Amino acid sequence: MVTEDSPTQPKTTRTWFKNALRRGPLRVVSHWVSKKMPKGLYARSLIAIIAPMVLLQSVIAFVFMERHWQAVTERLSRAVVADISAIIDVIETYPQDEEFETISRIAREKLNLNATVLPPDPFPPATSKPFFSILDEVLRYEITRQIARPFWIDTVGDSKLLEIRIRLDKPDKVLRIFARRNQAYASNSQIFLVWMVATSLVLIFISILFLRNQIRPIQQLAKAAELFGKGRHTSERFRLRGATEVRQASQAFLQMRDRIERQMEQRTAMLNGVSHDLRTILTRFKLQLALGEETEETRELQNDVEEMQKMLQGYMDFAKGASGEGDEEIATVDVCAALSRHQNEAGLRGKNFVLDCNPEFTIRARPSAFSRLVANVITNAFRHSENISINVRSSDHRLSIVIDDDGPGIPLNRREDVFKPFVRLDEARNQDEGGTGLGLSIARDIAHNHGGDINLHDSPMGGLRVVITLPN
């Protein structure tokens, strides 16, 4: 469902074309290539190595085919056609040798050609011309240039022989020549292409092995940073590897992680100490008030003490959420079970509560932190609306919990303010029971510590839509 503050729809083709003309063709081509390029460093590095290699090999192959291969084939074919032209001259000069045995013997022994004179029968049907054959083109050209008589050739097929038929004037017969293919064709040049392709494949294989060994430390660093961003402990096997720059980045990450963890531990220890001292004083206050005579003033003081206890608990909850919930371990959490616990609360409050959740939905999270996350958001919905609908969806390794209500909502320009600690809006829904303004702040901190986020939108029910996104 598209809300008011959701991303706009894709531009039409006409608008895209106008913008493309405005940007210029080079920028359009560059943008198109960047969209088609793979996003991973490993794939891009392979392209950076393989693309120049393929381009260089293609240029070399083209130059070799165009100059060396074709030049050698032209010389060989020219020599074969010259021998055939000489045989024709001899036949037409000495036509009295009707059997042409002497000429056939000389062609076989001296020129390595199998020459036969046939009756003046029509040529066989024309064979299909090969798509790419230097030999076929060169032979046709040389026969036309040197002999200039009707001819028929067959260079197609896997045979090692070439068949050439040429019509004679005196006598009126057809000369058939069989020649070995390698007499007119530089067939050994294919070995060069085979070696070129083989060496390219070997180089690509070595590049893949080398790049994978170099990219793996970067991938491990990215994985460690991702886990730390989700509030999970990084693997103990993570250590400095790879090139100097990668080692420097890994060392900087480890130092940053240790510094952040120390700050969190110091902050949590300080708040725990302050909480313990304040709770001790509040306990003495409550005890003194309980032992004293109950009056209107003492009742007011008791209310103030209870309010202070709630505020103190809110501060501690906020500290735990910001520090990744202390030492609580990551476990598999049943999302539907955690959400269904609030159905009883909805009944006690007289609220209409609808839950749409697949029982198979689970996530890896800190159970207590996740319970506090959904409790803060759902309790806010209970406090400001009568009808609450929760829809849980999963796609692309992300779990989305969509909470809709029919309450007053929050103005668009104040939605980010409600996530700030200690911010209380009269018309907003960041007022928890303790009045500290930490409800949604704690919820977003917990979501961030699990690699997720919380966003606010307009609800189709007329109130507020809260979208909790977490990795699963």
* Tens of pLDDT, residues 405-425: 998 888 888 888 888 776 666
Per-residue model confidence (pLDDT) at position 95: 66
CATH 3.30.565.10 region(s) of the chain?
A: 331-471
Of 83-97, 127-141, 268-282, 352-366, where does the model show the most confidence? 352-366
* Residue 214, pLDDT above cutoff 90: no
Residue 282 near residue 309 (C-beta atoms within 8 A): yes
Higher pLDDT among residues 55 and 321, named by residue: 55
- In the chain, the percentage of residues whose pLDDT exceeds 90 is 12
Show Cβ contacts of residue 129 under 8 Å, excluding neighbours closer than 6 positions: 136
Instruction: Identify the residue with better confidence: 144 or 92.
Output: 144
Q: Which residues contact 315 (CB under 8 A, 6 or more apart)?
A: 271, 275, 436, 438
Q: Distances in Å between the alpha carbon of 467 and those of 25, 161, 399, 452, 460?
A: 41, 77, 10, 10, 13
Whole-angstrom distance, CA of residue 367 vs CA of residue 328: 8
Task: Give the pLDDT score at 158.
Answer: 57
pLDDT score, position 299: 76
Task: Quote the pLDDT of residue 129.
Answer: 67
Return d(Cα 457, Cα 449) in angstroms, integer. 22
pLDDT given for residue 79 in this prediction: 92
Q: Lowest-confidence range among 33-42, 292-301, 421-430?
A: 421-430
Q: What is the CATH number of domain 331-471?
A: 3.30.565.10
Distance, in Å, from the CA atom of 370 to the CA atom of 336, rounded to the nearest integer, reads: 12
Task: Indicate the CATH number for domain 266-322.
Answer: 1.10.287
Q: Where are the alpha helices (DSSP H) in 147-243?
A: 181-184, 189-229
- Residue pair 118/173 in contact (Cβ under 8 Å)? The answer is yes
Residue 169, pLDDT > 60, answer: yes
Query: What is the spatial distance between Cα 299 and Cα 22, in angstroms, rounded to a whole number?
Result: 74
User: Rg for the chain (alpha carbons), in Å?
Assistant: 43
Confidence of residue 10 (pLDDT cuts 50, 70, 90): very low
Query: Is-contact 472 362, C-beta < 8 A?
Result: yes
For CATH 1.10.287, list the domain ranges present in the chain.
266-322
